[in-house]
């Protein structure tokens, strides 16, 4: 196979990528170390993977609003952050923003532990680059700053230094262990880190006249087929969240007590940047993407939905449980049969782990793997299984659940024994101070949902328990 140059950037800011990116089309089956690129042996490629590592939301969260030195902000933005128009001497009372200390960012240890699973394929559900600006004094992340001028990108921003420090360097062991399926998160939007995403990770060809300024808001869904299953990838990077109080205020009762989960409409959210017409356009767009997904799913009996924003998850909202993501669920409601051939929905965006198994597998298993290293959400349920019994999207009831806030980790998914024909899922805590890596939760789910529902409807033999 011939190696081709994909892109070669320059040192021109703000998208300074003074590196060359190469690509090559490899066979679907490739023994480990049988090929090299740049002198480095490539991992094995198989058309029949048995083990997958699932991870997301991995970058170190540094999102400054005021470094403590700004009296007035301008309307100008760099990597999505408003710049300072009028500086003053440092005042700690002025400091605003989100700052994750370097010592509290365990990505390298998480990636190293995931590599020990010896996955055949790695799935990253997006949000690689969280370093949108410099670190304020006293926040423990000052080592990412430019030592000469804090306003000039150091180890942060949508440039080579930012991407290397926040993703490539700490992920080296897992990058070397297996091929990856890479999704685009909201932190890879064009206003944040989309330019590096298209240069390094997006699987589509770049334009012939590519420059580092290249970034587009939307890309169509696509499929990654293997012999026995395939992954259906949806780009939802531009979806705007409903303002839901950081998921901190959770019910102290179980899902069965509440009964039905709330549906939080963007139409009722005064913080939305788009008009009702704009929101309706997005719903229509995703309805069309889901129709494409349904067509693509026909080639395989087993499919996995991959997106960044949760598709079928449950979060906390003002002491109650709520469904997310509203925009995607509105698009699904127009054609719920889209998911008939989907066994699990694997997503991220919210910074915790959650697994939901629905009664009679009426919906795909929902997995949120957003606990991959970035600053975690403060969700604190009364019990890890508190969502059990809740009536979630489309009236489907949660049979078994596990939600864990404040715990870093990743998940591993593998084919179960041949006699069962399903998949085994393990959520693994790793990178947590004072704790050795260990399994948090395990579940088993069917490879095929649709035929099982058909068996039940036609009065066939009773179905075996999967959980």
- Judged on CB neighbours under 10 Å (0-12, 13-18, 19+), 301 is middle
- The answer to whether 359 and 396 are in contact (CB under 8 A) is yes
- Residue labelled with tokens 């990528």: 17
Residue with the two structure tokens 């924003």 = 309
Query: CA-CA distance, 201 to 396, in Å (whole number)?
Result: 36
From the list 405, 414, 466, the residue with the least C-alpha distance to 440 is 405
Q: For residue range 432-467, what is the model confidence (pLDDT) as tens digits?
A: 998 999 999 999 999 998 643 333 333 333 322 222
In whole angstroms, what is the distance from residue 350 CA to residue 56 CA? 10
Predicted confidence at residue 464, as pLDDT, reads: 29
Backbone φ and ψ for 409, nearest 5 degrees, come out as: 165, -165
CA separation for the pair 467, 454 (Å, rounded)? 19
**pLDDT tens, position by position, 125-150:** 999 999 999 999 999 999 999 999 99
According to the model, what pLDDT value does residue 379 have? 77
* Maximal C-alpha separation, the chain: 75
DSSP codes of every residue in 227-287: SS-EEEE---TTPPPP--GGG----SS-HHHH-B-EE--GGG-TT-SS-HHHHHHHHHHHH
Provide the 10 A C-beta neighbour count for residue 178: 23
Of 220-234, 344-358, 400-414, 446-460, the range with the lowest mean pLDDT is: 446-460
Contact 378, 156 (CB under 8 A): no
Strand 320-324 versus strand 313-317 pairing type: antiparallel
Confidence (pTM): 0.94
Q: What's the pLDDT band for 381 if we cut at 50, 70, 90?
A: confident
Which run of H or of E encompasses 74? strand 70-78
Q: How many angstroms separate the CA atoms of 77 and 74, rounded?
A: 8
For residue 252, the model assigns a pLDDT of 84
Q: What is the pLDDT of residue 455?
A: 35
């Amino acid at each position: 196979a011939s190696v081709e140059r994909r892109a070669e950037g320059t040192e021109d800011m703000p998208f300074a990528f003074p590196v060359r990116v190469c690509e090559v089309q490899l066979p679907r089956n490739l023994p480990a170390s049988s090929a090299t690129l740049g002198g480095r042996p490539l991992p094995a490629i198989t058309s029949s993977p048995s083990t997958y590592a699932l991870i997301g939301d991995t970058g170190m969260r540094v999102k400054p609003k005021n470094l403590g030195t700004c009296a007035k902000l301008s309307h100008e933005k760099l990597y999505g952050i408003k710049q300072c128009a009028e500086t003053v001497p440092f005042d700690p009372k002025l400091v605003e923003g989100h700052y994750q200390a370097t010592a509290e960012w365990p990505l390298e240890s998480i990636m190293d532990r995931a590599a020990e699973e010896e996955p055949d394929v790695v799935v990253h559900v997006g949000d690689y680059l969280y370093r949108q600006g410099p670190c304020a004094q006293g926040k423990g992340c000052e080592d990412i700053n430019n030592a000469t001028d804090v306003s000039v990108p150091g180890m942060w921003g949508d440039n080579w230094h930012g991407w290397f420090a926040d993703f490539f360097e700490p992920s080296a062991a897992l990058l070397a262990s297996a091929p990856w399926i890479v999704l685009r998160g909201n932190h890879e939007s064009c206003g944040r880190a989309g330019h590096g995403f298209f240069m390094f990770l997006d699987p589509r060809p770049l334009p012939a006249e590519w420059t580092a300024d290249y970034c587009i808001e939307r890309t169509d869904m696509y499929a990654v087929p293997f012999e026995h299953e395939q992954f259906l990838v949806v780009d939802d990077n531009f979806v705007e969240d409903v303002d839901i109080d950081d998921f901190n205020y959770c019910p102290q009762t179980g899902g069965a007590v509440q009964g039905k989960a709330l549906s939080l409409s963007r139409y009722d959210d005064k913080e939305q940047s788009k008009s009702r017409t704009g929101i309706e356009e997005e719903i229509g767009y995703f309805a069309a993407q889901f129709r494409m997904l349904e067509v693509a799913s026909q080639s395989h009996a087993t499919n996995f939905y991959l997106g960044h924003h949760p598709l079928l998850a449950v979060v906390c909202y003002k002491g109650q449980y709520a469904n997310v993501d509203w925009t995607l669920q509105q698009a699904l409601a127009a054609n719920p049969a889209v998911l008939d051939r989907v066994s699990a929905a694997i997503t991220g965006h919210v910074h915790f782990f959650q697994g939901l198994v629905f009664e009679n597998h009426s919906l795909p298993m929902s997995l949120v793997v957003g606990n991959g290293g970035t600053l975690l959400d403060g969700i604190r349920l009364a019990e890890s299984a508190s969502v059990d019994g809740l009536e979630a999207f489309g009236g489907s009831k949660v049979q078994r659940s596990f939600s864990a806030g404040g715990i870093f980790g990743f998940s591993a998914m593998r084919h179960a024994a041949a006699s069962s024909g399903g998949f085994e899922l393990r959520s693994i805590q790793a990178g947590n101070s004072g704790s050795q890596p260990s399994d948090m939760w395990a579940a088993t789910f069917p490879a095929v949902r649709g035929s099982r529902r058909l068996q039940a409807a036609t009065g066939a033999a009773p179905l075996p328990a999967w959980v």
